[in-house]
Structure 1
Amino acid sequence: MKITSIEVKQYVKELDPPFKAAWDPKPRKKFASTLVYVHTDEGITGVGSGDLMTGFEGHEHLFIGQDPFAIERHSQVLDNIDFHYGRCWPLDIALWDLIGKATGQPVYKLLGAKSNKINAYASTGEIVTPDVRAERAKQFVEDGYKAMKIRFHHEDVRDDISVVEEVRKAVGDQLDIMVDANQGWKMPWDTERTWDLKQAVQVARELEKLNVYWLEEPLPAHDFKNMAKLREMTNIRIAGGEMNRRWPDFREMTNQGSLDVYQPDVALAGGITKVKKIADLVQSSGHMFSPHTWSNGIGLLANLHLSVAISDCPYIEFPYDPPVWTPDRRDYVLKEFIQPNENGEFIMSDKPGLGFELDEEALRQYEVGSAYFGEKE
């Protein structure tokens, strides 16, 4: 089998009403998805998504004519492109989808099949008042979820803590609560200072009183030393790593003991191939692997297959904050939206590859651009 061509297509859906993400002061009026299609001479096509494929054009010749099963070779080439130009990891996702289809196996079984299910935690994304967040949390309980994540980003962190207090009061011990401090990275226009170690310690100690399961990104993503200090100074789990792009970052974090929970996203930081290695590294060091999944339904599925295959963590992130962020908004290119069952669990199917089908009508409706590399079909 040989790769004959690669397509990269962009799709955009208007969001009405807009999504006001906690980490972005500009309301999001559109949601874009980039899909990469890897075609072969045997008529099998793998599909990946989750990032923009920036930097891929001009490097397509490094893959055309190659055996798609040479995944370690392709991963190294993508890592080289990542270093010089940009993130093209959805191609790795597409190759795993292709390999699964070619072998008739779901990707999670090819990766190890430690389990076929995992609990989802409802990962919220909007800043709302304490009473609104508490009402939404109670609905999560009714919908079968066992955990949720609250994002911080009020001007005064005490207002953020008040939200957690109200949620804990509303749901008691029916939900594990995670908190994302949103201090790990910035949007391009954000010049405000992030927390320092002392502020992170103060917040962590307040959240300890509320039995918070983990505190995510309380310090900048490369402040490995102070994250390790924070872990030593508090009893709460410290999570992070969603935007650390390269394997040496995770080696250094594990060496320094920076985190309890590591969150590399296969769509952003190494594809399935390299993130599996990161997960093996951090779990062998006694830590948890629970990836970030805020891209789209295909990116979520790729992280899900890896997590059920190898992760020791009881939870995987499920971006969900109705009515502003729901599967129909995120997964508009798919025939079936990705969501857990009534018990808040993802149960894996035996469909080959990543197990999704594209909605051809939606693809025609939302396509805004494309590029084609290689032999014409």
Structure 2
Amino acid sequence: MKITGIEIKQYAKPLDPPFLASWDPNPRVKFASTIVYVYTDEGITGIGSGDLMTGFVGHEKFFIGKDPFEVENHNKVIDNIDFHYGRCWPLDIALWDIIGKKCGQPVYKLLGGKQDKMKAYCSCGARISAEERAEKAKEYVKMGFKAMKIRFHHEDVREDIKVVEAVRKAIGDQMEIMVDGNQAWKMPWDVERIWDLKKALKVAKELEHYDVYWLEEPLHHADYDNLARLRQMTGLRIAGGEMNRRWHDFRDLADKGSYDVYQPDTVLCGGFTRTKKIADYVQAKGAVFCPHTWSNGVGLLANLHMACAVSDAEYLEYPFDPPVWTVDRRDYIIREEDRVLVDQDGYMHVPQKPGLGFEPDMDALKEYEIRDFYVGE
């Protein structure tokens, strides 16, 4: 089998009402998705998505004519492109989609096959009041969720802690609560100071009163030493690493004991090939591998396959915060019957079809395809 072509297409779905995300003060009126298609001489097409593939144009020549099964070599080339130009890890996802389809097996079985389902944690993202968040938490309990994540966004962190307090009061012990401090990275225009160790510790001590499951991204993503210090100073699990760029980041983080929970996103941080190595390394250190998965429906599928293949984590992230963040908005590029849902017991089930286990929604792709590169509004 040989790769005969690689094609990248952009899509954008209008959002009405807009999505005001907790990490971005600018309301999002469109949701962009990039798909990379990898064609072969056997008629098998691999599909990947979850990142913008910025910087890939012109590098197709390094893959054309090669066997898609040579993923170690392909992954190294993608890593070189990452260093020089930008993240193109959805290409690795598409290659494994080809491998799975050729072998007649779902990707998670080829990578380890540890389990075929995982409990979802409802990952919230909208800026709403403490009272609204508490009411929504009660709705999530009824839906079957066993855990949810609250993202901090207020200028005064005490207002964020009030949200956690309201949710805990509303749901009791019916769900675990995760908290995302949103301090590891910033949007391009954000120049405000991030938390220092003292502030992160103060927040952690407050959250201990509400039996929070983990505190995510409480410090800068490269502040390895202070993350390790914070982890030793609180009883909370400390989580992070969703967009650390390279394998060596995770090696050094794990060697220093910076996190209890490591969250490399498979479509942002190395594809299946590299992320499996990260998972093996951090779990060998006694930590938890639980990938971040806030991109689109294909990204969610990729991380579900990755987690089900090797992870010991109890929960996996499920982006969901209706009405502004729904399954339809998140997964519009995927056929409705192939979208990942959560059952009444709170589980996501990994598809049993070959490869990633989905087909694109061709009507949606035709409607939302765009010609110009789209970043956001």
Aligned to 1:84: 84
Asked if 1:232 corresponds to 2:229, the answer is no
Structure 1 contact 217–239 (Cα < 8 Å) conserved: yes
Matches within 5 A, 1:355-366: 355-366=357-368
SS for the counterpart of 2:31 is strand
Q: Which residue of 2 aligns with 1:301?
A: 301
Give the 3-state SS of the residue equivalent to 2:371 in structure 1. strand
What is the deviation of 1:350? 1.6
Superposition map of 1:89-108 within 5 A:
89-108=89-108
Kept after mapping to 1: 8 A contact 2:340/2:349: no
Moved more, 361-370 or 49-58: 361-370
Matched residue of 2:239: which SS?
A: strand
- CA–CA distance in 2 between the matches of 1:350 and 1:200? 42
What's 1:375 paired with? none
- C-alpha change, 1:159 and 1:323, in structure 2 (3 Å) is same
Q: Deviations over 1:214-237 (max 9, x none)?
A: 000000000000000000110000
Q: Deviations over 1:103-123 (max 9, x none)?
A: 100001001111111000000
Query: Within 5 Å, which residues of 2 pair with 1:1-377?
Result: 1-336=1-336, 337-369=339-371
Structure 1 Cα separation of the partners of residues 287 and 306 of structure 2:
16
Q: Distance in 1 between matches of 2:345 and 2:7?
A: 38
- For the residue of structure 2 that corresponds to 1:239, the secondary structure is strand
Provide the identity percentage. Answer: 66
Give per-residue Cα distances to partners, 1:208-263, cap 9 Å, x unaligned. 11000000000000000000000011000000001101011001001110000000
CA drift at 1:348: 2.2
Q: How far has the Cα of 1:132 moved from its partner?
A: 0.3
Amino acid aligned to 1:277: K
- Equivalent residue of 1:99, what SS? helix
Q: CA deviation at 1:370?
A: 8.3
Distance in 1 (alpha carbons) for counterparts of 2:5 and 2:353:
24
CA distance in 1, matches of 2:51, 2:60: 17
5+ long unaligned stretches in structure 2? none
Matched position secondary structure for 1:313: coil
The CA deviation string for residues 292-328 of structure 1, in whole angstroms up to 9 with x for no partner, is 1111000110010010110000100000011110110
**Contact 1:250/1:278 (<8 A) preserved:** yes
What TM-score, normalized by structure 2, do the two folds share?
0.97
Contact 1:9 1:370 in 2 (8 A): no
Equivalent residue of 2:177, what SS? strand
**Ranges in structure 1 where 5+ consecutive residues have no aligned partner:** 372-377
Which letter maps to 1:232? Q
CA contact under 8 A between 1:38 and 1:94: conserved in structure 2? yes
Q: After the TM superposition, which segments of 4 or more aligned residues of structure 1 sit over 6 Å from their partners? A: none
Offset at residue 205 of structure 1 (A):
0.4
Helix, strand or coil at the partner of 1:51 = coil
User: 1:215·1:239 contact (CA, 8 Å) conserved in 2?
Assistant: yes
Q: 1:266 to 1:59 in 2, by over 3 A?
A: same
Which residue type is aligned with residue 161 of structure 2?
Answer: I
Give SS of 1:61's match.
helix
CA-based RMSD of the aligned residues comes to: 0.9
Contact kept? 1:7, 1:370, Cα under 8 Å:
no
- Aligned residue pairs total 371
* Distance across 2 between alignment mates of 1:310 and 1:264: 13
